[in-house]
């Protein structure tokens, strides 16, 4: 990312959410983003995850400039190259555990014959093989988050965006989730950008970006 800025509104309502943010992320790196509420974490995650475009600056994903894509192109990038882990897991309620994990592969046009063994393997890796036909409402919070992580990683994305992945979990489950992310990261080689307040999570990241009022305070 090079001198990324994001502003909203105009005149009296003008808000500068991000100002000249620059950093890079290596392959398979874990990067933590931290900062108080309103510091610009969500805006940065939206831009990194191609949910939103920056107002200024350059964003290169795997060497390609992606800062001026239209919504359809951003959607295509997200489908192929980016995985999301949400604070409240955001599993699709009408889909079973198997279907939730399989969904990104289905979107990418993979055939059921290819999808089934990959999802089964992933279910074994996250320890939920026996839950594959259950709906999200039948799972515990920790189980749901594991399904969310599996869904983000099943398509082997280049980048995973995780927004407060441990916020809705107790310490035991938060630790387990982070370990799972590391374990799967070792197997799949994705880079992670994790927004978190959790010191335990930040400790386990390779580097940390500190944001304050939309500015990059430090990069350690």
Partner 1 sequence: MNSLLIAIRNIRRDGTRLISTVLVIAVGLAALLIGSGFMLSTYDALQEIAMRAEGHVIVLDDDPAPTLGGAHQQLTLANWKIIQDDLWQDSRVLRVLPRARFEGLVSNSDNSAAFFGTGVDPKEEFRVHGPFLRTTDVLDPWLTDQDTPDLLLGSVLAQTLTAKTGDLLTLQTRRSDGQASEIVVRLAGSYHTGTPEIDNHTLMVSTDTVSTLLGSSQISQLSIYLEQPEDSMAIKQLLQSQYEGIIVQSWDQRAELYDKVKAQYDRIFGVMGGIILIVVFISISNTIALAIYQRREEIATLGALGTQPTRIYANFILEACLIGIIATSLGMLFAYTITNAINLAELMMPAPPGKTEGYAIYVYISWPHYLLTSLVLITIVVLASFVASYNNARVNIADSLY
* Residues near partner 1 (CB under 8 A): 42, 45-46, 49, 51-52, 72, 75-80, 82, 84, 86, 90, 92-95, 99, 102-104, 106-107, 112, 115, 135, 151, 163
Q: Which residue number, 11 or 109, has a Cβ lying nearer to partner 1?
A: 109
Q: How far is the CB of 152 from partner 1 (least distance, A)?
A: 9
The two three-digit tokens of residue 75, written as one number: 């959607």
Phi/psi of residue 65, nearest 5 degrees? -70, 125
Q: Which residue number, 60 or 106, has a Cβ lying nearer to partner 1?
A: 106
Q: How far is the CB of 81 from partner 1 (least distance, A)?
A: 9
Q: How far is the CB of 46 from partner 1 (least distance, A)?
A: 5
Q: Which residue number, 41 or 173, has a Cβ lying nearer to partner 1?
A: 41
Question: Judging by beta carbons within 10 Å of its beta carbon (0-12, 13-18, 19+), is residue 185 exposed, middle or buried?
Answer: middle
Question: CA 48 to CA 45: how far, in whole Å?
Answer: 5
Q: Which residue number, 135 or 175, has a Cβ lying nearer to partner 1?
A: 135
Q: How far is the CB of 172 from partner 1 (least distance, A)?
A: 26
């Amino acid at each position: 990312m090079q001198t990324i800025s994001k502003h909203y509104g105009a005149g009296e309502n003008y808000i500068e959410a991000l100002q000249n943010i620059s950093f890079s992320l290596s392959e398979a790196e874990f990067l933590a983003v931290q900062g108080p509420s309103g510091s610009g974490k969500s805006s940065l995650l939206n831009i990194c995850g191609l949910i939103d475009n920056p107002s200024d600056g350059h964003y290169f994903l795997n060497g390609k400039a992606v800062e001026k894509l239209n919504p359809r192109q951003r959607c295509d990038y997200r489908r192929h190259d980016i995985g999301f882990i949400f604070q409240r897991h955001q599993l699709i309620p009408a889909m079973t555990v198997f279907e939730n994990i399989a969904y990104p592969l289905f979107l990418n046009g993979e055939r059921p014959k290819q999808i089934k063994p990959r999802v089964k393997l992933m279910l074994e890796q996250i320890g939920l093989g026996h839950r594959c036909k259950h709906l999200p409402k039948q799972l515990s919070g920790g189980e749901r988050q594991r399904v969310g992580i599996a869904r983000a990683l099943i398509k082997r994305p280049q980048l995973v965006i995780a927004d407060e992945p441990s916020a809705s979990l107790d310490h035991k489950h938060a630790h387990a989730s982070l370990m799972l992310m590391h374990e799967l990261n070792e197997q799949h080689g994705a880079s992670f950008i994790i927004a978190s307040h959790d010191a335990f999570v930040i400790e386990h990241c390779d580097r940390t970006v500190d944001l304050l009022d939309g500015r990059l305070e430090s990069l350690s």
